[in-house]
Amino acid sequence: MLDKLYLLAALPLLAAATVVPRNGGASAFAGATTTFAWPPPNVTATIPDANFPDATAIDAFGPTPTGDEPAAIATAPVLAPVNDVFPLSRPDTADHKGSKFDVLHQWGNLSPMFSVDADTFGLPHSSPLVPEGCGLTQVHLLHRHGARYPTSSSAPSALAAKVHNATAGKGFTASGPLAFLNEWTYKLGAEILTPFGRSQLYNLGVGFRVRYGELLKGFTDLPVWRTTSEERMIDSALQFAAGFFGVQWYQGDYHQLVEIEASGYNSTLAPYDQCANANNNISSLGGVQSNKWAAIYTKPTIKRLQKLIKGNLTLTSADIIGMQQACAYETVALGSSSFCSLFTEEEWEQYEYYNDLSFWYGNGPGNPAVAAQGVGWVQELLSRLTQKRITTFETSVNSTIVSSNITFPLNQPIFVDATHDTIISAIVTAMNFTNFDVNGALPTDHIPKNRQWIVTHISPFGANLVGQVLSCPASDTPTHIRFILNDGVLPLTGIKGCKADKNGLCAIDTFIKGMQARVDEIDYQYDCFANYTLPNVPILDGRYPPALRRNVTA
């Protein structure tokens, strides 16, 4: 669609096309009260439009020299961290401790991405800056989309339906910190990026240009960068490119490959559609386990808040989760939320752990069908690192896309792929980053000390996993590789052959061999399609334990 628009704009001799804008329409699901939609109904645009000639038709740009490319990842003396959430308000808590505690950093996959501390993944003396004595030869970026509205059947919209029923009934009054509920309406849409979410990806693109721009000098053709077909995925990819290349010209500066995200289609960036066990009871484990914890931690909260309600609204643990999520979603969509300061610091930590359980057992190391979902992208990574095309297709890889030089070039200095939260967590599971599971399976009745699996650090909005290919000492030949998640360097010691290294480096040939061994040990067909029940042993690496397999296939 966008490519077509661009062509029409660039070729004014073509007949004018009338474009009816995609209009999502007003929200039409449980709890929604808003009827607003943009653009206004029945408005169309003609492209090109003689009343509004394109800048290329006017062609009076003035001087346009470009400067040299920045390479801050190698040249900056200190890392500039991602820590800006303008224009979102930083929420207060119910206990007003006002300390360093940041509610924005407690929302798991609903937190806006920020640079984690250097020691987050176990390498306290590391930095994303290129290590002394090394040179950068290539970079692989896998990023999540930016902040979005809730997905279609979310806890906040269910809460809204219930609250609206109650407030419409007789004798409802909420008081104290809950008094806002008397007037509250649900203003959120669904699925698509919020304005703040767009800025996150734009800023990621700007940041990536400043950190890695110099690698553009290695391109002899336009980059091919990938995303999937969902609205928020397209929007995120285009925002990234606008930040990276500039908004006027980006569509002529690179190719945007859009993989189809829908049932029946292979895509390593949205592999759940093709993996049966990602869509049944096996994947429900995340919800089952996190709900056990929710039933425990929300008890005192329900008691406290229920006292503030007169009328027909009996709070459940699902409602508390709905309120905590509403805080996150309203903040990233509307800039602030009255729900946030209902909760104490402890309750926010408990909510974060709820997300950790949901991802660990649903989309991480604790689920037997998760490494399988991540393995396709890992195969593509190996294909890019070895310059060898994938030739057997037994995972979520789309053979049409990866078999072509045009749609899947192997020799780019900068690779950019856009994906989802659950897939970043599946890919770190597939890659055997064992720092996340050193303390074993997550308990559902308390928050364990020293837990490593914290979704806020793994898959927040705008999350990014960066593979740096380096030469140490600096030369044209790559010698090492390392991976950086949300600006925290990951240890590679879970990968066969990779030695402990304070900068997270592994010799590139060793890494390729170890990662190939990992790919070989993941059985996509079995883990995704076999009809198994959950084994009675803890799963720590996202696979059905090979020793327990029976010959039962679906």
Ligand X SMILES: *[C@@H]1O[C@H](CO)[C@@H](O)[C@H](O)[C@H]1NC(C)=O
185 binds ligand X (CB under 6 A): no
Among 25, 39, 169, 545, binds ligand X (CB under 6 A): 169
Residue 90 CB contacts under 8 Å (≥ 6 apart), including other chains: 102, 103, 104
Q: Which of 145, 420, 457, 480 is catalytic?
A: 145
551 binds ligand X (CB under 6 A): no
Are the C-beta atoms of 236 and 146 separated by less than 8 Å? yes
Measured from the CB atom, the residue of 162 and 457 that comes closer to ligand X is 162
Q: Which residue has the tokens 């008397």?
A: 182
Q: Which stretch binds ligand X (CB under 6 A): 77-85, 212-220, 453-461, 491-499?
A: 491-499
171 binds ligand X (CB under 6 A): no
Catalytic residue flag (residue 145): yes
Buried b (16+ CB within 10 A) or exposed e, 358-394: bbbbbbbbbbbbbbbbbbbbbbbbbbbbeeeebeeee
Site string for ligand X, 297-316 (x = CB under 6 A): ---------------x----
Measured from the CB atom, the residue of 103 and 278 that comes closer to ligand X is 278
Among 514, 526, 527, 530, binds ligand X (CB under 6 A): 514
Name residues contacting ligand X, limited to 408-437 (CB under 6 A). Answer: 432, 434
Q: How far is the CB of 288 from ligand X (least distance, A)?
A: 9
260 binds ligand X (CB under 6 A): yes
Q: Which stretch binds ligand X (CB under 6 A): 90-98, 197-205, 294-302, 387-395?
A: 387-395
* Tokens, residue 553: 């296939």
Are the C-beta atoms of 256 and 236 separated by less than 8 Å? no
Return d(Cα 224, Cα 217) in angstroms, integer.
15
Among 140, 162, 198, 232, binds ligand X (CB under 6 A): 162
Pairing of strands 135-144, 414-419: parallel
Return d(Cα 343, Cα 223) in angstroms, integer.
46
56 binds ligand X (CB under 6 A): no
Q: Write down the H helix ranges in 246-344.
A: 250-253, 281-297, 299-306, 317-334
C-alpha R_g of the chain: 24
Q: Among 431, 535, 3, which residue's Cα sits nearest to residue 250?
A: 3
Measured from the CB atom, the residue of 185 and 400 that comes closer to ligand X is 400
Among 156, 541, 543, 544, binds ligand X (CB under 6 A): 541
Pairing of strands 309-310, 173-174: antiparallel
Binding site residues, ligand X, CB under 6 A? 41-42, 161-162, 165, 169, 259-260, 265-266, 281, 312, 389, 393-395, 398-401, 405, 432, 434, 494-496, 514, 517-518, 521, 531, 533, 540-541, 554
> Which residues are the active-site residues?
145
